[in-house]
Amino acid sequence: MIGAIGKKSERINLRKNKSWIYLTIISFLFFGFFAFLTSKIYMPNDEKLFHTETNKVIKLSGMGKLIVEKREYNPHKNFIQIYFRLEGYEETGYTFKAQQKANPGVQLPVKVLYEENGKYVVEVKDLSPNWGALAFDIYNKNGEKEQMDIRKFTQDVNESEEENAATKSPNKLVQTIFTDQRKTKANDELLAEDKKTYELDFIERDKKDIETKIKNYGKAIKLEEENAKTVYEKVKELQDEMKYQTEAEKTETQSKIASLES
């Protein structure tokens, strides 16, 4: 009797163990499938970035340069504002065209909100909620009939910058500013401002730029002074050693001193 009960108990335990094994396998498969379905939510987006660096000096043909200073977009009103400046580029004026990655080849409305001495604030409207990236073309005024390149979002940003810098023809575009949605600040309260506001904004940026340069110059001067002090102390040390050296050693030491002072 006891043996029969024992065997029955073993069979029950075996069934329980098998149930746990099956449950574990099913749970593993379920969570694996769930992770696969939701992976795009938490895994980083490895799609190619189309974004011209902020505050990067981009060389243009001749002696010109372009600097993109600021970008913000309003996700509720579907527009973006781009602050940039063109320096040392001798042209009488520019025209602008824009297209988005979500619908390439379709020209978006562009409005110039501010223009003064090569400093610009432009607004691009009618962006899609998921616009992805924006290609903002700057043309010479006499090249306004230039057709938009709908392949903007297949060429590397750095390659595009180098290609435009090498362009000499006045009928070619000056430069393309790429803006990637993933790297652009969203501002629900963003609105068009008056000319004075934009003017003060650029003045404040210039002020900060000058302050940064002065600070960097100060650091460079301090470093130079420290280096000079180190050299002076090392030279003095070598000169003191020469008092106890042979002529051959003195010649070698003088060579070291000359190298330090050069």
Residue 69 pLDDT exceeds 80: yes
Q: What angle do CA 145, 151, 153 make, to 5 degrees?
A: 120
pLDDT of residue 47: 74
pLDDT of residue 252: 92
Query: pLDDT per residue over 6-48, tens digit each?
Result: 555 555 555 555 565 656 666 656 555 444 444 443 344 567 8
Alpha-carbon distance 259 to 20, whole Å?
79
The position carrying tokens 């075996």 is 14
The position carrying tokens 């904004």 is 201
The region of weakest confidence among 100-114, 141-155, 191-205, 222-236 is 141-155
The region of weakest confidence among 71-75, 152-156, 192-196, 258-262 is 152-156
Which helix (H) or strand (E) segment holds residue 233: the answer is helix 195-242
Evaluate the CA torsion angle 45, 46, 49, 53 in order and state its sign. Answer: positive
Q: Which of 178, 181, 189 is nearest to 127 (CA)?
A: 181
Choose the most confident range, by mean pLDDT, from 67-76, 136-145, 237-246.
Answer: 67-76
Tokens of 34: 């769930």
Cβ-contact 86, 66 below 8 angstroms: yes
pLDDT of residue 29: 61
Q: Provide the residue type at 166 as one letter.
A: A
